[in-house]
Amino acid sequence: MLGRIWQHECDGWYIYSNISTCTKAEDLKRISDHYHQRLKIEDGKPR
């Protein structure tokens, strides 16, 4: 996750900014895999 730009902390959360939704999802998947969390990550678009 090098080279990412982070927003300032907001209510205890750090928010990605200036990157695509696809890249955000890929990063979350890597974090989930690393911690063996099995997160289900979806784009949120209606089907």
- Whether 41 contacts 29, CB under 8 Å: yes
Instruction: Give how many domains the chain has, as a whole number.
Output: 1
> pLDDT tens, 1-47?
456 666 667 788 877 777 788 888 898 899 999 999 999 988 777 66
- Rounded Cα distance between 14 and 36, Å, is 21
Residue 20 located in a structural domain: yes
Residue 22 located in a structural domain: yes
13, 14, 36, 37, 40 from 10: Cα distances, Å: 5, 6, 26, 24, 24
Supply the DSSP symbol for 16. Answer: E
Residue 44 located in a structural domain: no
Range of the domain at 15: 5-34
